[in-house]
Structures are given as structure tokens and as C-alpha cells.
């Protein structure tokens, strides 16, 4: 497809992510922060987020797997994941963390494990979508187009 088409596609794609609740306004904020001095800002931040989140998710899995579960640790990890996901606008991940935290406070292992699954799912989903988004952006730029600003 030509550049214009790609650009339109990008716009639609992005809009759908918002519509489905995968992304929220915070993501837009990130996009607005990006400027010429830092043209890859969004990609960079999101990459950091991916790395960090995967680490947290692994830690969570390990912690919940212990004989004696250290709920404080679980709580701290969840809290951090909540913070970072909300900072980049990964809304569904954040919501999953809220539910997760509640189970954690109740010391409900089952509940926590379920939530962990849920959060993981949401995380991989948004990761996937964002990666597609970035790819699309790259293609547009490579083709000489420009990324349309959302909103």
C-alpha cells in the first residue's frame, strides 16, 4: 500500500487500541512528549516497559510458586507493575493489577494466580499490538511518510 494508505491504517489501528481499552490517554501523553530532540521516545519508553514488566511477571510467578508465599513481595511487584503500566497507558494491564492487588491483600493465592494469568495475557496482548504499531510507523517513515499525531 502506499504511504497514505499506511498512514490511514495507522490512524485506524491506533484508534482501535484506544477503543478496546488497551491503551488510554496516558499513551497519548507519551506521544505528545516525543519531539525532534527525541524522535524515538515512545519506542524507547515502551521497550523499557516491556523489559521491566517481563521481569516483574517472572518474579511474580516465582514468588507465588513458593511454599510460603511472601505476599509483601507480591504486593510490591504488583504495585510496581501497576505503576509502570499506568504510566505508559496500558490500561488493561493496569486494571488487571488492581484486581491482583486486592487478592494479594486477602492473601488469596488462588486469586493471585488467576490474576497473574490475566495480567500476563493482557500484557502480551498489548505488547503485540504495540509492536505492530511501531512496525507500521517504521514502514511509513521508511516510505517517506509521517506519523500522524493522534488527537
Partner 1 sequence: MDRCMSTASSTPIRKVSDGVSDQFPAGLRVLVVDDDPTCLKILEKMLRNCLYEVTTCSQAEVALSMLRESRTGFDIVLSDVHMPDMNGFKLLEQIGLEMDLPVIMMSADDGKDVVMKGVTHGACDYLIKPVRIEAIKNLWQHVVRKRRNELKEFEQSGSVEDGDRLQKASDELDYSSSVNEGSWKSSKKRKDDEDEGEERDDTSALKKPRVVWSVELHQQFVAAVNQLGIDKAVPKKILELMNVPGLTRENVASHLQKYRLYLRRLSGVSQHQGGVNTPFMSPQEASFRSISSFDGLDIQAFAASGQLPPQSLASLQAGLGRTTTSTGVAMPIVDQRNIFSSEISKLRFGSVQQLSNSGKQVSLLPGLPTSMEPKQLPHPHQSVQSFGSIGLQASEGTSTFLNMPTSLRTTLSTQMHGVHGNRSSPSMMQMSQTQSRNQSLNEMVGGHASGIPSTIGQQIFSNECSGQVLDRDRTTINGRSAACNPVSQVSSVVDFSMNHMTELPGNGFPLASATEVSNLTSRGMFQEGRKMGLKGSRGFAPSYDIFNELHQPKTQDWELQNVGLNFEASQHLNSIIQSNTNHAPSIMGGQGFSSSLKNGQNINMLVYGNAVVSAGEANEHGNTENSAQRPNIHLVNTSFRVKSEEIPDLSCEKLLIPDHFGQDDLMSALLKQQQGVGPVESEYNFDGYTMDNISV
Applying CB under 8 A, the residues found at the interface with partner 1 are: 26, 29-30, 32-33, 35, 37-38, 41, 44-45, 48-49, 51-52, 76, 79-80, 82-84, 86-89
Q: Given the complex with partner 1, which of 29 and 58 has the nearer CB atom? A: 29
Angle formed by the axes of helices 25-33 and 41-64, to 10°?
A: 140
Cα torsion through 104, 109, 113, 115, rounded to 10: -30
Q: Given the complex with partner 1, which of 3 and 131 has the nearer CB atom? A: 131
Q: Phi and psi dihedrals of 47, rounded to 5?
A: -65, -40
Shortest CB 53 distance to partner 1, Å:
8
| Length, in residues, of the chain | 151
Number of other residues whose CB lies within 10 A of the CB of residue 149: 10
Shortest CB 86 distance to partner 1, Å:
4
Shortest CB 97 distance to partner 1, Å:
9
Shortest CB 103 distance to partner 1, Å:
17
First CA to last CA distance, the chain: 24
Amino acid at each position: 500500500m502506499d504511504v497514505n494508505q499506511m498512514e490511514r491504517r495507522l490512524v485506524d489501528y491506533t484508534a482501535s487500541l484506544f477503543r478496546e481499552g488497551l491503551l488510554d490517554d496516558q499513551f497519548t501523553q507519551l506521544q505528545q512528549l516525543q519531539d525532534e530532540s527525541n524522535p524515538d521516545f515512545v519506542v524507547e519508553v515502551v521497550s523499557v516497559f516491556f523489559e521491566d514488566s517481563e521481569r516483574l511477571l517472572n518474579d511474580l510467578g516465582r514468588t507465588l510458586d513458593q511454599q510460603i508465599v511472601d505476599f509483601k513481595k507480591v504486593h510490591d511487584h504488583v504495585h510496581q507493575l501497576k505503576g509502570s503500566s499506568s504510566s505508559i497507558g496500558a490500561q488493561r494491564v493496569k486494571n488487571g493489577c488492581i484486581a491482583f492487588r486486592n487478592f494479594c491483600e486477602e492473601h488469596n493465592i488462588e486469586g493471585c494466580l488467576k490474576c497473574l494469568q490475566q495480567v500476563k495475557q493482557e500484557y502480551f496482548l498489548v505488547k503485540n499490538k504495540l509492536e505492530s504499531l511501531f512496525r507500521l510507523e517504521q514502514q511509513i517513515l521508511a516510505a517517506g511518510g509521517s506519523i500522524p499525531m493522534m488527537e
